Structures are given as structure tokens and as C-alpha cells.
């Protein structure tokens, strides 16, 4: 467990985090998917992944320099996206992800500083995922569950309606989309005090150097959510 983040969590949370990283299936998943992405995408995957990490560092520094230095890092994954792409086509899958991003921006509003697709489309942060960075660490599960439930209740019908407006003569394979149940899984980690992730010189701003652990914890939590069947929010508060 990373020393600086270790001090930001309660004893119970530290034990839960250690348990996650000692879980052999989780460690194997992270190792295998990282190796697979490097074999497939090579240097480009590393460069794009670095962009995601640098963006996270940026918001860690913003949080660390605020009076209320909390931050929540989350990864949202669309459940059964490959089935949606196979049945309705990738164009519909892309519209679904665009709509999820729109809904996330609306539901979270002032609570989210960053909602974007990962720069690196690899098995760790895939193209059917969103990275969410919330500007607080106070019961983030409530906000994330609200987002998850709204997506499940409204998303497919709204996407179908938008497509129907844009394409009056809809392809036959799009029929049934309005009744499709689109669900998401979310893994997150809430850091109550981002300053422990950073160094702050007297009279200066906090400087953060690493955000990899936040991503790795969120991935571990997301892996648990997917193993439970999806349509769930799992995280460390």
C-alpha cells in the first residue's frame, strides 16, 4: 500500500485496501491486462496512459491547495457494451457513451471537475469507460449511485428517441433499443485529504507527482463490481 495514501485512510479502509491488493485474481487481472495493452498498442498506450495520469495529478493538486482538500477518483464502465455493439452497431454504442457522459455532467454538475473517456483505450481503461473526478470525498457513493440509477432508468429510451429524430428511416437492427436496459458499474476511491498525496513547500502550492495508485484502486473496485454481475457501485470511502 502506498505510504502517503495509507495515511489518508482510516484503519478499516487501509485493511480493505490491503485485502484488495493481496487478492490474487485482482493482481493477475491488472498484470495480464497491462501486458496485453502494451503488446497491442506499444508506446502509444504508454503515452496515452500518461495523459490520464497527468490529468489526475492536476486535479490532485487543485484539491490539495483547497481549504476542503477531498477528492474522489472513479471509473465508470458500461455493462455488456460488447453485446450492445454487436446487436445495434458501434455507432449506437458510441451514442450511448456520449449520452452517459451528458447525463453524468448533468447529475454531478458542480460536484465533478473531470468527466472524460480515458485517453488510452486499453483493457485497464477501455473505450467504453469514463473517468470521473469528483471535487469532494463526502459520501461519493450517494452521487455515483444516483448517476447509475438514472442511466439505467432513462438512457436507452432517450438515445432511441434522439436517433429516431435524426434518422426517420431507422435501420431494422436498431429496433428494440428503446427497451434495452443499459446499466453501468462504477469503482471508486475517495481521498479525504489530497495533501498527503503531495508535497507542499512553505508559502507555496502543493506539488503532486503520482496518481497511479488512485487508478489502480479504482480498477480493483471496478473489478469487484463486475465480478458481482455489474450494475453496482463499489469503492473505498
Q: What gap in Å lies between CA 221 and CA 233, rounded to an integer? A: 9
pTM of the predicted structure, to 2 decimals:
0.78
Q: What gap in Å lies between CA 205 and CA 201, rounded to an integer? A: 7
Evaluate whether the domain defined by 3-236 bears CATH number 3.30.70.270.
Answer: yes
Give the residue with greater pLDDT, 75 vs 202.
75
Strand ranges inside 79-212, DSSP E: 112-116, 129-134, 184-191, 198-200, 206-208
Look at residue 205 in the predicted model and tell me its pLDDT.
72
What pLDDT digit, counting tens, does each position of 9-49 carry? Answer: 455 555 555 555 455 555 554 444 444 444 444 434 444 56
What pLDDT digit, counting tens, does each position of 138-188 carry? Answer: 889 999 999 999 999 999 999 999 999 988 888 888 889 999 999 999 999
What percentage of the chain exceeds 90 in pLDDT?
45
Determine the average pLDDT of the residues in 88-110: 93
Amino acid at each position: 500500500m502506498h505510504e502517503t495514501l495509507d495515511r489518508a485512510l482510516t484503519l478499516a479502509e487501509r485493511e480493505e485496501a490491503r485485502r484488495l491488493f493481496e487478492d490474487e485474481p485482482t493482481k493477475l487481472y491488472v498484470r495480464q491486462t497491462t501486458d496485453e495493452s502494451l503488446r497491442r498498442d506499444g508506446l502509444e498506450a504508454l503515452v496515452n496512459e500518461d495523459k490520464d495520469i497527468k490529468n489526475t495529478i492536476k486535479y490532485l493538486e487543485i484539491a490539495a491547495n483547497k481549504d476542503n482538500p477531498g477528492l474522489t477518483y472513479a471509473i465508470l464502465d458500461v455493462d455488456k457494451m460488447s453485446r450492445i455493439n454487436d446487436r445495434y452497431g458501434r455507432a449506437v454504442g458510441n451514442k450511448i457513451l456520449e449520452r452517459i457522459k451528458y447525463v453524468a455532467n448533468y447529475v454531478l454538475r458542480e460536484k465533478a471537475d473531470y468527466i472524460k473517456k480515458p485517453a488510452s483505450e486499453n483493457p485497464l481503461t477501455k473505450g467504453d469507460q469514463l473517468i470521473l473526478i469528483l471535487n469532494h470525498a463526502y459520501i461519493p457513493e450517494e452521487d455515483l449511485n444516483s448517476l447509475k440509477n438514472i442511466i439505467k432508468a432513462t438512457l436507452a429510451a432517450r438515445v432511441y428517441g434522439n436517433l429516431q429524430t435524426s434518422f426517420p428511416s431507422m435501420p431494422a437492427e436498431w429496433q428494440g433499443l428503446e427497451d434495452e436496459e443499459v446499466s453501468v458499474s462504477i469503482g471508486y476511491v475517495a481521498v479525504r485529504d489530497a495533501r498527503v498525496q503531495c508535497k507542499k513547500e512553505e508559502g507555496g502550492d502543493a506539488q503532486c507527482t503520482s496518481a497511479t495508485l488512485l487508478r489502480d484502486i479504482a480498477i480493483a473496485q471496478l473489478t469487484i463490481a463486475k465480478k458481482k454481475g455489474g450494475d453496482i457501485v463499489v469503492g473505498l470511502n
